[in-house]
Chain A
Amino acid sequence: ETGVTQSPTHLIKTRGQQVTLRCSSQSGHNTVSWYQQALGQGPQFIFQYYREEENGRGNFPPRFSGLQFPNYSSELNVNALELDDSALYLCASSWGLAGEYEQYFGPGTRLTVT
Chain B
Amino acid sequence: AQSVTQLDSQVPVFEEAPVELRCNYSSSVSVYLFWYVQYPNQGLQLLLKYLSGSTLVESINGFEAEFNKSQTSFHLRKPSVHISDTAEYFCAVVRGGGATNKLIFGTGTLLAVQP
Contact between B100 and A105 (Cβ–Cβ < 8 Å)? no
* Contacts between the two chains (Cβ within 8 Å), count: 73
Q: In the complex, what residues of B have CB within 8 A of residue A103's CB?
A: 46, 101, 103
Contact between B101 and A98 (Cβ–Cβ < 8 Å)? yes
Distance in Å from the Cβ of A1 to the closest Cβ of chain B? 16
Give the interface size class of chain A: 20 to 34
Chain A contact surface mostly = loop
Contact between B90 and A99 (Cβ–Cβ < 8 Å)? no
Contact between A102 and B46 (Cβ–Cβ < 8 Å)? yes
CA distance A90 to B92 in the complex (A): 15
Contact between A97 and B99 (Cβ–Cβ < 8 Å)? yes
Judged by a CB distance under 8 angstroms, whether A61 is at the interface is no
Q: In the complex, what residues of A have CB within 8 A of residue B36's CB?
A: 105
Q: Which of B's residues lie within 8 Å of A, judged by CB?
A: 4, 6, 32, 36, 42-46, 49, 51, 90, 92, 94-108
Q: Which of A's residues lie within 8 Å of B, judged by CB?
A: 4, 31, 33, 35, 40-45, 48, 55-56, 58, 90, 92, 94, 96-108
Please list 6 pairs of residues, one from A and one from B, whose beta carbons are closer than 8 Å in the complex, sorted by A's number: A42-B4, A44-B105, A92-B103, A97-B101, A99-B51, A101-B101
10 closest Cβ pairs, A-B complex: A42-B105, A105-B43, A99-B94, A105-B44, A107-B43, A45-B102, A56-B100, A99-B101, A99-B32, A42-B107
